[in-house]
């Protein structure tokens, strides 16, 4: 990452330290008796939203999203127990149900952002066949506006009388301009609502918020952080907070060493060999888990300053890459958008983009914490968390 990229990350981290505080989140009322995974949502069919995975560990059950053949993003608060002790996940479950999983993959290790509710886990093996919905490019976040449609997905608890988890569900929603009072917007969060009390809930922490671009392709824009508790009998809309993945992806790339955005950098279209396309139908249930959900339609549409000519298949014989911007084997990765950068740094040189706000829902294996203060998740405030019983959301 170039020096200016590091400077931006340091500035963002500094701003996050002073502007976010879980202690500013008010206590909420008792939990509703309606506790379904993605409350009110739809049961996922085979291979619907295949990159949505369940995080499996000894303490919490949360949700995550595959963003790279080796990397899953999730909520940072899922990686710590109530005492602030690091309790990483041991594996992920792929499929639509834990009875049984289509596939499980062991986790090599997890890392939490030092100040914000964002984390990632590195897998022990590559999942190269599953079509990955890419992280939204920072330059694409101008598409995000209140009222635009989104999809929430998660593996929350399954009923009012059971603590069982492990059934994937999804629900349509829209972007919201701000959280419900007395919470106020912050630059690391994106807000979503189903227009009712339905939506993400306990066990859905770290789960994805998907957004469809005007060309029909999809992007990952958020991972689930928190929401108000459901009020039984109410028809008022809840608003859920999602950590902005585009905002934090540069930090994740810097610390993990993986290029999580192979099709673009901060300036726009700048693909590498791993840029294989953007899925247009991840919610259609294409393929089977025998072939890892292959068969989705993908497009290599340039982002932001890219042009249609930049989206061809590459194959230049020299290093100029003057015609396509694709990841030709003999060049450095194509054009870098308006600035003309070559993209030779593997896509790490990007400025974190603000997506309308990026930011907490996970459940403990023992279902403890009912009626707790909502888990938000500044891990630097471990001392403030001691003594509070929480259910990861």
Domain ranges of the chain: 1-393
Closest CA to 20 of 243, 210, 240, 259: 243
- pLDDT tens-digit series, residues 45-99: 999 999 999 999 887 889 999 999 999 999 999 999 888 899 989 999 999 998 8
pLDDT value at residue 254 = 97
**Most confident residue range from 28-32, 186-190, 379-383:** 186-190
Contact 108, 88 (CB under 8 A): no
Task: For residue 85, give every residue at least 6 positions away whose Cβ sits within 8 Å of its Cβ, in sequence order, or none.
Answer: none
Q: Which fold has domain 1-393?
A: Thrombin, subunit H (2.40.10)
Angle 373-241-127 from CA coordinates, rounded to 5°: 110
Q: Is 102 exposed, middle or buried (0-12, 13-18, 19+ CB in 10 A)?
A: middle
pLDDT value at residue 363 = 53
Instruction: Output the average pLDDT for the chain.
Output: 74
pTM for the whole thing?
0.76
Per the listing, tokens 């459901």 go with 230
Instruction: Kindly report whether the peptide bond that precedes residue 341 is cis, defined as omega within 30 degrees of 0.
Output: no
pLDDT value at residue 163 = 64
pLDDT value at residue 11 = 33
> With 80 as the cut, is the pLDDT of residue 297 above it?
yes
CA distance 255 to 156: 29
Look at strands 218-226 and 103-112 and give their pairing: unpaired
3-state secondary structure the chain: CCHHHHHHHHHHHHHHHHHCCHHHCCCCCCCCCCCCCCECCEECCCCCCCCEEEEECCCEEEEEEEEECCEEEECHHHHECCCCCECCCCEEEECCECCCCCEEEEEEEEEECCCCCCEEEEECCCCCCCCCCCECCHHHHHHCCCCCEEEEEECCCCECCECCCCECEEEEEEEECCCCCCCCCCCCEEEEECCCCCECCCCCCCCEEEEECCCCCEEEEEEEEECCCCCCCCCCCCCEEEEEHHHHHHHHHHHHCCCCCCCEECCEECCCCCCCCEECCCCCCCCCHHHCCCCCCEECCCCECCCHHHHCCCCCCCCCCCCCCCCCCCCCCCCCHHHCCCCCCCCCCCCCCCCCCCCCCCEECCCCCCCCCCCCCCHHHHHHHCCCCCCCC
Other C-beta atoms lying within 10 Å of the C-beta of residue 236: 11
Q: Which residue has the higher pLDDT, 386 or 296?
A: 296
CA distance 253 to 271: 15
> With 90 as the cut, is the pLDDT of residue 37 above it?
no
> With 70 as the cut, is the pLDDT of residue 344 above it?
no
Tokens of 134: 């890419």
Closest CA to 157 of 34, 331, 314, 333: 34
What value does the mean pLDDT take over residues 326-343? 30
pLDDT value at residue 196 = 92
Contact 150, 211 (CB under 8 A): yes
User: Residues of the chain with pLDDT > 70: what percent?
Assistant: 68
> With 90 as the cut, is the pLDDT of residue 19 above it?
no
Q: How confident is the model at residue 349 (pLDDT cuts 50, 70, 90)?
A: very low
Contact 359, 113 (CB under 8 A): no
Tell me how far CA of residue 160 lies from CA of 32, 39, 316, in angstroms: 8, 11, 59
Look at strands 208-212 and 189-193 and give their pairing: unpaired
Q: How confident is the model at residue 35 (pLDDT cuts 50, 70, 90)?
A: very low
Q: How confident is the model at residue 389 (pLDDT cuts 50, 70, 90)?
A: very low
Contact 108, 241 (CB under 8 A): no
What value does the mean pLDDT take over residues 193-208? 92
């Amino acid at each position: 990452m170039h020096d200016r990229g590091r400077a931006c990350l340091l500035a963002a981290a500094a701003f996050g330290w002073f502007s976010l505080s879980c202690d500013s989140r008010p206590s909420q009322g008792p939990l509703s008796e309606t506790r379904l995974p993605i409350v009110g949502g739809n049961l996922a069919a085979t291979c619907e939203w295949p990159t949505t995975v369940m995080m499996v560990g000894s303490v919490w059950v949360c949700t995550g999203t595959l963003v790279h053949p080796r990397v899953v993003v999730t909520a940072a608060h899922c990686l710590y127990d109530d005492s602030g002790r690091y309790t990483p996940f041991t594996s992920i479950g792929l499929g639509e149900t834990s009875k049984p999983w289509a596939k499980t993959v062991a986790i090599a290790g997890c890392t939490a952002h030092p100040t914000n509710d964002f984390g990632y886990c590195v897998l022990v093996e590559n999942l190269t066949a599953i079509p990955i919905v890419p992280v939204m490019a920072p330059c694409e976040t101008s598409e995000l506006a209140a009222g635009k449609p989104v999809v929430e997905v998660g593996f929350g608890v399954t009923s009012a009388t059971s603590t069982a988890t492990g059934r994937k569900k999804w629900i349509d929603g829209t972007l919201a301009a701000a959280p419900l009072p007395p919470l106020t917007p912050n630059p690391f969060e994106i807000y979503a609502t189903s227009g009712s009390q339905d939506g993400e809930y306990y066990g859905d922490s770290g789960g994805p918020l998907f957004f469809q671009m005007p060309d029909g392709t999809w992007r990952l824009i958020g991972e689930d952080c928190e929401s108000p508790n459901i009020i039984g009998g109410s028809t008022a809309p809840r608003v859920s907070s999602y950590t902005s993945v585009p905002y934090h992806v540069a930090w994740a790339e810097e610390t993990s060493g993986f290029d999580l955005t192979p099709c673009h950098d901060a300036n726009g279209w700048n693909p590498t060999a791993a840029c294989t396309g953007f899925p247009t139908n991840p919610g259609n249930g294409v393929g089977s888990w025998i072939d890892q959900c292959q068969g989705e339609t993908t497009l290599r549409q340039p982002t932001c300053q890219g042009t249609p000519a930049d989206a061809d298949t590459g194959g230049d014989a020299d290093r100029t890459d003057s015609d396509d911007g694709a990841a030709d084997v003999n060049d450095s990765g194509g054009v870098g958008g308006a600035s003309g950068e070559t993209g030779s740094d593997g896509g790490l040189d990007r400025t974190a983009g603000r997506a309308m706000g990026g930011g907490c829902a996970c459940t403990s294996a023992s279902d403890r914490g009912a009626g707790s203060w909502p888990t938000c998740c500044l891990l630097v405030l471990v001392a403030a968390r001691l003594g509070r019983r929480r259910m990861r959301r």
